Amino acid sequence: MFGRFTDPAAQAFSALQHEPIVLYTVVAVGIIFFLVLVGITLFGWWGTLWRNWITTVDHKRIGIMYVILALVMLIRGFVDALMMRMHQAVAVGGESAGYLPPDHYDQIFTAHGTIMIFFMATPLLFGLFNYVIPLQIGARDVAFPFLNNLGFWITCSGAVLINLSLAIGNFARVGWLAYPPLSEVSGSPDTGMDYYLWSLQLSGIATTIGAVNFVATIIKMRAPGMTMMKMPVFCWTTLISNVLILMIYPVLTVAFALLACDRYLGMHFFTNDGGGNPMAYINYVWMFGHPEVYVLVLPAFGILSEVVPTFSSKRLFGYTSMVWAILVILVLSFLVWVHHFFTMGGGIAVNTFFSTTTMVIAVPTGVKIFNWLFTMYKGRIRLEAPMLWCLGMMFTFVGGGLTGVMLSIAPADWQFHNSLFLVAHFHHTIIGGVVFSYFAGFVYWFPKAFGIKLNRSLGICAFLCWFVGFYLAFFPLYILGLMGATRRLQHYIEPSWQPYFIIAMIGAFIIALGILCTVLQLLLAIWYGFMHKGILPVHENDPWGDARTLEWSISSPPPAYNFAIIPDVKTLDAYWAMKMTGSKRKKTDFSDIHMPSNTSAGFFAGLLSLILGFALVWHLWWLVALSFISIIAVIILHSFVSDHNGYYLSSGDVQMIEDQFTTYLESKGIQA
């Protein structure tokens, strides 16, 4: 009946009893959660929340929810990072030197990696895809609006499940990719590894669903006239990134399923006995893991290709080169996975092959830097926050690329492998390349979503803190790696390492200030929304000026239907062309617009999958059966009972909404 709760070895509540840090965190999170619920009730927002957000199928609202989830997870993952930095700054000597015992420290670095990749970066990515892609291709929604809602709620339940491990049971102590046999029952007998498996399976399912949606959307729903080579680069990178997801996530799902068979059914895929082979898992997981890096970084390249031209008031340099570079990366990213374990003794042929392919992938990546550089060349550069993030990204990413190529040289990797040099390298590319770009995109598209820009000074502060903090936090790690420090050390004995760890900690705190600036920016924006009682006034379509793509041709925030008239695309940079040819926005004669209806099926399926995951972790078999059947029932019910016909927004309503925008533009004296 109570599954593993009655098993003392599962340590259901031991973290709460013995770890004060965990206890206080759980209490604090509980209080905040409670206050939010009370607030929503007091303001009477439940109805709005349910109708406009939870059951919505509008890609813009789902995108916003994805970004909120990602920001919350960013804070969770970042707190983990701070704790590690603070711990390592004092952990010289023995096991008891720091304030975290190995048991807790090992959970933290596993959670940090897992949460940052699967529950911070991926949702942020999907948030941006969701908000921007349909607008950029001139569509009214994504191809499968219900799947979109379902995907979000499954991601969300994955995130909740992974965070539940903080309070109930414990989390995995295996590193973010959970190599067996450590992740087998023999190495991790308690619930942590099961939390890891099921929350990542949920995230994997949701990501795959999302990818199906975006591949279909980009291929089938582009505005008339927008051929593939007239798509904005962000659309290209999104398409390729989602194709990659479709190819690699099944590999991860199967690897995790096999590991689950080992753990739950006593099979021997990756164990040391019964003919199992742990190295097979390492191959599967990196066949996923390496392309995953490109899943994250390609859209980052896409964002730069949008932001840099806008703030340089100039067209992107070498569009065709850019697209080919992306396609080359798509192919090459599948040929490099073994570079994650050059140290297995693969032999001359294997090492030479993978070393060379890894270096080759640096070529199309390097080309992109030149593309942006020559986009800036002879432009008119405005140093607004998004452009600063882009400049920071370019400046930092070339360095990350450099150390990446150093690691790709197999004999050099034999000295870098799993050292802090490696840790510094991948943070160099992920923070410098991915996070900086996502922030650029976030700040850039924020006024599109809400009508107002984020506070400029705070934005610049946020960038400066991240930029300086990054270099301070990770350059000491390069040196530490060369001094012989490996990753995931709970303590070390060399006193000469300590100053570097202390500097790294200071860097992490400076990054924390950067995050604080972003939070303040958002609070100001929330206050603005609060003052307008959630109904944001319509603002100008092109707040940054000199924007080039279609999303900037409609009001900010955009109406629910996006485009009153689907635009006719003739060239690359469609909106720029419209401005140049002086084409006028249509102000009357709209027709009825078909809209999809809301559905609660996604929310319930998500909730039930959370219960399913939790039941699987705790071996509550009756609940597993119940929730699994219920999920299927919800989906079947949704197919038969829900309203699939949608509804029509009458031409009168459309006229009213468009008139608001017209009035605003006329009041500002803008001719459009």
Partner 1 sequence: MKKLKKILTFSEALTCMLLLSGCDIAVLHPAGLVAKAQRDLIVVSLLLMLCIVIPVMIAIVAFAIKYRVSNSAAEYLPEWGESHKVEFFMWGIPICIVAVLAVLSAYFIHQYEPSKPLDLALTDDGHNRLLRIDVVALEWKWLFIYPEYGIATINEIYAPTGQQVSLQLTAENTINAFWVPKLGTVLYAMPQMNAKLHLVSEEDGQFSGISANYSGEGFSNMRFTWNSVSHDDFNHWVARVRQSSVTLDSSTYLALTQRNKNTPVTHFSEIEKNLYYRIVNRCVVQGSQCNEYLMRLAAEKSLWGELCSVFNFK
Of residues 236 and 661, the one with the C-beta less far from partner 1? 236
Amino acid (1-letter code) at residue 156? C
Give whichever of 439 and 497 is closer to partner 1, judged by the CB atom.
497
Minimum distance, C-beta of residue 667 to partner 1, in the bound complex (Å): 27
Distance CA 611, CA 108 (A): 24
* Residue 367 beta carbon to partner 1: minimum distance, rounded to whole angstroms: 6
Q: Which is nearer to partner 1, 294 or 590 (CB)?
A: 294
Q: Which is nearer to partner 1, 141 or 542 (CB)?
A: 542
Q: Does the footprint of partner 1 cover residue 99 (CB under 8 A)?
A: no
Look at residue 492 and give its three-state secondary structure. Answer: strand
CA–centroid distance for 189 within its chain = 30
> What tokens were used for 392?
């920071």
- 252-291 binders of partner 1 (CB under 8 A): 272-273, 275, 277-279
Per CB under 8 A, contacts with partner 1 among 360-419 are 360, 362-363, 366-367, 369-371, 373-383, 391, 394-395, 398-399, 401-402, 405-406, 408-412, 414-415, 417-419
Residues 352 and 655: their CA atoms lie apart, in Å, by 64
Q: What is the nearest approach in angstroms of partner 1 to the Cβ of residue 315?
A: 4
Is 644 one of the binding residues for partner 1 (CB under 8 A)? no
Give least dist CB 224 to partner 1, A.
24
CA contacts within 13 A on the Cβ side of 45: 14
Closest CA to 393 of 440, 426, 453: 440
138 vs 476, beta carbon nearer partner 1: 476
Residues numbered 325 to 364 that lie near partner 1 (CB under 8 A) are 341, 343-345, 347-348, 351-352, 355-356, 359-360, 362-363
Size of interface with partner 1, in residues (CB under 8 A) = 97
Residues 6+ apart with CB under 8 A from 177: 285, 286, 289
- 614: nearest Cα among 191, 205, 252, 17: 191
Question: Are the beta carbons of 374 and 317 closer than 8 angstroms?
Answer: yes
Residues 499-518 touching partner 1, rule: CB under 8 A, are 499-500
Residue from 318, 529, 543, 646 in contact with partner 1 (CB under 8 A): 318
Question: Which CB sits closer to partner 1, 268 or 587?
Answer: 268
Restricting to residues 417-476, name those near partner 1 by CB under 8 A.
417-419, 476
The answer to the question of residue 577 lying near partner 1 (CB under 8 A) is: no
DSSP notation for 108-141: HHHHHHHIIIIIIIHHHHHHHHHHHHHHHTT-SS
Interface pick for partner 1 out of 197, 316, 332, 338 (rule CB under 8 A): 316
The stretch among 137-145, 230-238, 493-501, 646-654 that binds partner 1 (CB under 8 A) is 493-501
Q: Any contact of residue 187 with partner 1 (CB under 8 A)?
A: yes
Looking up tokens 């921007």, which residue turns up? Answer: 132
- Ramachandran area for residue 142 (φ above 0: left; ψ -120 to 50: alpha; else beta): beta
In 3D space, the residue among 440, 441, 574, 384 whose CA is nearest the CA of residue 132 turns out to be 441
Shortest reach from residue 4's CB to partner 1, in Å: 21
Write out the two tokens for 183: 């992740």
Q: Is residue 589 close enough to count as binding partner 1 by CB under 8 A?
A: no
Per the rule left: phi > 0, alpha: psi between -120 and 50, beta: everything else, 378 is left
Structure tokens at 202: 């949920």
Which of residues 144 and 467 has its CB atom nearest to partner 1 in the complex?
467
Closest by alpha carbon to 121, among 178, 154, 77, 173? Answer: 77
Choosing from 212, 247, 268, 487, the residue that interacts with partner 1 (CB under 8 A) is: 487
Secondary structure element (H or E) that encloses residue 595, with its range: strand 593-595
| Contact in structure between 396 and 428 (CB atoms under 8 Å) | yes
Stretch (H or E) spanning 649: strand 647-649
Instruction: Find the shortest distance in angstroms from Cβ 348 to partner 1.
Output: 5
DSSP string, 25-58: HHHHHHHHHHHHHHHHHHHT-HHHIIIIIIT---
Smallest gap from residue 24 Cβ to partner 1 (A): 24
Residues in region 206-245 near partner 1 by CB under 8 A: none
Min separation Cβ 337 and partner 1, Å: 16
Q: Site residues for partner 1, window 58-97 (CB under 8 A)?
A: 95
Q: Which of 37, 493, 526, 633 binds partner 1 (CB under 8 A)?
A: 493
Is 543 a binding residue for partner 1 by CB under 8 A? The answer is no
